[in-house]
Structure 1
Amino acid sequence: MTALTLTTSTDLWTDVCAYDDLVPERGVCALVGGEQIAIFRTLEGDLYALSNLDPFSDAYVLSRGILGCRGGVATVASPMYKNVFALETGLSLDDPERSVRAYPVRLADGRVEVST
């Protein structure tokens, strides 16, 4: 099992949930630092965190998106208009001028933590 860990200039991490509480291939939404964040666990065990706001529909729905892969890139498709975003970067693969914020996420002692 691997977990994606990104580093930032801050060291402020917020405990979100137990890793085992996340169902593979499903997203959950958590309020972290006043931001709605969609957190995903892949079948391989990787963790990703993106803004929950879909910029195409202006709805907070990405946590309910469909996980997949496009060209070797792990993705989530919005449940609204099916626009696809890279899980690692938040970049829209359908319209490169749009993106969602990707957040640092890590696994620490069996707990999922997100940094804003």
Structure 2
Amino acid sequence: MDGATQKDCWIDVCALTDIWPDTGVCALIQGRQVAVFRMRDGDREHLYALDNHDPFSGANVLSRGLVGNLGERRVVASPIYKQHFDLATGECLEDAQVRLRTWRVRLVDGRVQVSA
């Protein structure tokens, strides 16, 4: 379906204040685990969402990974084998052939929502 005929379905995940700055949480969206991250850049807040599944270890752990910057890229490092995933694109920095699904995420009235 094209964007004109399909309505977005936004799933309420949690309050923004439920996610500590520069950390992530896990949400179940349509049967899939999604890692949702809240990042601060000075006074600005950024939200990111990508699959929680680490393709290298097979574990659902990325929401517990360490977040930060590698150059200009905001990343999460897997807590298992330490691969870095770009929060905006899902690309693995150590293996460009591996990419996680990213999810659209927004803030509405203080609530974090992910598009299903």
TM-score with structure 1 setting the length? 0.90
Higher relative contact order (CA 8 A, sep 6+): 1
Aligned to 1:4: none
- Percent same amino acid at aligned positions? 52
Question: Partners in 2 of 1:86 and 1:26 — Cα distance?
Answer: 14
Aligned to 2:62: 62
Moved over 3 A (4+): none
Aligned to 2:103: 103
Number of residue pairs matched by the alignment: 109
Q: Does 1:15 align with 2:19?
A: no
Give the partner amino acid of 1:48.
Y
| Unaligned stretches of 5+ residues in structure 1 | 1-7
Equivalent position SS for 1:74: strand
Report how far residue 69 of structure 1 moved: 0.8
TM-score with structure 2 setting the length? 0.90
| Unaligned stretches of 5+ residues in structure 2 | none
Q: CA RMSD in A?
A: 1.2
Aligned to 1:40: 37
Contact kept in structure 2, 1:64 and 1:79, CA below 8 Å: yes
